[in-house]
Structure 1
Amino acid sequence: MGSGGGWNVPTKSLSALLKDQAIQQQKENERAINDYLKSLLSELNNRDTEQVQRHLNTLQRAIEKEVDGTVDLLFGGSISKHTYAQGLSDVDMLVRINNSDLANAKPQDVLDYFVNQIKNRLPKTEVKKGDLAVTVKFRSGYEVQLLPSIKTATGYKIAKPSINEWSNVIKPKKFAEKLSKVNQSNGGKVIPMIKLFKSINDQFPKKNRLSGYHIESLAIEAFKNNQTFPKTVKEAIQKFCLHSRSAVLSPIKDSTGQSLHVDDYLGGKDSISRKRISINFRILEKKINNASSINEWKDILGK
């Protein structure tokens, strides 16, 4: 053996090298998962605005045809809050009735009028009357929900659930502004998280699904005083599930004025429905925390 020879003694033990390799693999998996979630968000954001506008113009002309005064269509729901997800969200429209023949009518009479006018104009299109709104399902795949509202001296009112009366004055902009503020203060990760969670929520059995408004309200509560901001949308989903598993047990006050609580459909505090959904959140949280591959995330998202 020459004087220049010798053995290269590793500076790290085998266990340390294996640990470094595992950490590196975990980082690569995280990058792959986050890239996949970003690509999925692009699909959920793919809304054909021109097609939607054509549908809305048709509906507005149908509704206005037999009334005096004006009828305005205002984007509401997920679009106004930027949480719309293609294939998961309806196009929600607030139909503002201003000084027309409908202004003194009962909510159910207004809904009946909407149904008749739309069916007359679009006889081959599916039109369904609900408790609060009329849903129109176009052959293009888009569903438009028309929620009637009447103008009063202090603002607009919508129908009350299960009662043929108008609500208190609603303030949908107040909620949208609150959600936007929370999203901005968390690096823009909250609204993308809501869109992805809607995809997850859509995989649950119907009895375990949350309304879009409830999901958005839980997100505000989860992130409004957040001290550790999520670096990725994946981290935001994990934070949301951790918060919601306990938060869902109690009603959330409705800041828009539409009802007393945003989640009245689940009953009172610690109801059986709330406990069932809380358990569902715990199971989901565990699945998300253990998901280390794209295939596992596809399973969670139903892809």
Structure 2
Amino acid sequence: MGGSGGWNVPSKTLKELLEEKAKQRQKENDREINDFLQSLLKELNNRDTEQVQKHLNTLKAAIEKEIDGAVDLLFGGSLSKHTYAQGLSDIDMLVRINNTQLANAKPQEVLDYFAKQIKTRLPKTEVKKGDLAVTVKFSSGYEVQLLPSIKTATGYKIAKPGLNEWSNVIKPKKFAEKLTSVNQSNGGKIIPMIKLFKMINDQFPKKAQLSGYHIESLAIEAFKNRQVYPKTVKEALQKFCEHSRTTVLSPIKESTGQSIHVDDYLGGKNSDIRRRISNNIRIIQKKSIMQVQ
């Protein structure tokens, strides 16, 4: 048989076509998941700064009312590190008492004074005194934690947990700077990832939740030495889980000087609660939001 015709051999095999289709589907799924994560971030970042400032002004006025001198309120915790998540994070405030008659008082005396003054000023508002801080829960939904502190030349002193004395000098600014550096060197994906993980963490029973500070410390450990930064928040969340499910099993050294470890509340290496949390992180890894089906 003549002619120039012949079999039309496809340029790509069926296997190659299926692989291309799978890759395209993966890209579409990744895009959808990242769009969803970004929409969650908008909700978590929705902080009414005007309302927060109004609450802080009220608390400052209440504390100053019966003492000589003025206190200074400084953002601490998640706000100072930009990991605050609306509805999940407390607003931590360092209350500097250096220039007042409270400067020579014991921590529990200062906390008692804070609680008394705030309850007098806000009788219908929930006020709780703990070892380190007084927590005020406003009807607006915001919770403010007031930590009395004394500023020194090298850092701050706050109350010691379980002891009526001031801590060694802590350096919260140093930790915040470290977290900022890690976030910047990883394409700005780490702070958003921390906020999202806080939201996921909040779904577990209280006893099986990580503290916000612990999550931030794990994030630093997970990303401080990476040569290639995550391209999306989803990828950062995935890498965080891969790293943390193992790292969480052992104590992490505390870098601000407040205590020996970040995670003393979880007990020693391979404790039951550490293994439980590690398993929770493994479950998160397997969730559909974390994987392309």
Partner of 1:76: 76
Kept in 1, the 8 Å contact 2:33–2:289? The answer is no
- Structure 1 residue runs of 5 or longer lacking an equivalent are 294-303
State the identity as a percent.
79
Find the aligned partners of 2:75 and 2:58 in 1 and give their Cα distance. 15
Partner of 2:266: 266
> 2:37 is aligned with what amino acid?
L
Change in CA separation of 1:205 and 1:9 when aligned onto 2, cut-off 3 Å: same
State the shift of 1:117 in Å: 0.4
Deviation readout 1:41-64 (Å, 9 max, x if unpaired): 111111111110010001000001
Kept in 2, the 8 Å contact 1:103–1:151? The answer is no
Change in CA separation of 1:162 and 1:35 when aligned onto 2, cut-off 3 Å: same
Change in CA separation of 1:20 and 1:154 when aligned onto 2, cut-off 3 Å: closer
State the shift of 1:150 in Å: 2.2
Partner of 2:13: 13
Partner of 2:172: 172
Change in CA separation of 1:43 and 1:218 when aligned onto 2, cut-off 3 Å: same
Kept in 1, the 8 Å contact 2:149–2:159? The answer is yes
Partner of 2:195: 195
State the shift of 1:292 in Å: 3.0
TM-score normalized with structure 1 length: 0.90
Find the aligned partners of 1:283 and 1:238 in 2 and give their Cα distance. 12
> 1:87 is aligned with what amino acid?
G
Find the aligned partners of 1:126 and 1:74 in 2 and give their Cα distance. 22
State the shift of 1:121 in Å: 0.8
Find the aligned partners of 1:266 and 1:174 in 2 and give their Cα distance. 24
Find the aligned partners of 2:287 and 2:101 in 1 and give their Cα distance. 54
Find the aligned partners of 2:4 and 2:31 in 1 and give their Cα distance. 44
Deviation readout 1:227-276 (Å, 9 max, x if unpaired): 22101111111111111111112211111111111111011222222222
Find the aligned partners of 2:223 and 2:24 in 1 and give their Cα distance. 30
Number of residues paired by the alignment? Answer: 291
Change in CA separation of 1:290 and 1:112 when aligned onto 2, cut-off 3 Å: closer
1:151-300 superposed matches below 5 A: 151-152=151-152, 155-287=155-287, 291-292=291-292
Find the aligned partners of 2:41 and 2:290 in 1 and give their Cα distance. 22
Find the aligned partners of 1:217 and 1:155 in 2 and give their Cα distance. 20
> 2:192 is aligned with what amino acid?
P
Matched, 1:46 2:32: no
Name the stretch that deviates more: 52-61 or 121-130: 121-130
Find the aligned partners of 1:290 and 1:111 in 2 and give their Cα distance. 43
Partner of 1:64: 64
Q: CA RMSD in A?
A: 1.9
Deviation readout 1:194-231 (Å, 9 max, x if unpaired): 00000010011222100000000010111111122101
Find the aligned partners of 1:145 and 1:49 in 2 and give their Cα distance. 16
Find the aligned partners of 2:140 and 2:132 in 1 and give their Cα distance. 24
> 1:91 is aligned with what amino acid?
I
Partner of 2:129: 129
Kept in 1, the 8 Å contact 2:90–2:145? The answer is yes
Kept in 1, the 8 Å contact 2:41–2:196? The answer is yes
> 1:63 is aligned with what amino acid?
I
Name the stretch that deviates more: 12-21 or 48-57: 12-21
SS in 1 for 2:159: strand
Name the stretch that deviates more: 281-290 or 92-101: 281-290
Partner of 1:89: 89
SS in 2 for 1:103: helix
Name the stretch that deviates more: 164-173 or 3-12: 3-12
Find the aligned partners of 1:16 and 1:155 in 2 and give their Cα distance. 61
> 2:251 is aligned with what amino acid?
P
Partner of 1:301: none
Change in CA separation of 1:39 and 1:211 when aligned onto 2, cut-off 3 Å: same
State the shift of 1:189 in Å: 0.7
1:109-148 superposed matches below 5 A: 109-148=109-148
Find the aligned partners of 1:236 and 1:288 in 2 and give their Cα distance. 16
- Structure 2 residue runs of 5 or longer lacking an equivalent are none
Find the aligned partners of 1:207 and 1:10 in 2 and give their Cα distance. 59
> 1:116 is aligned with what amino acid?
K
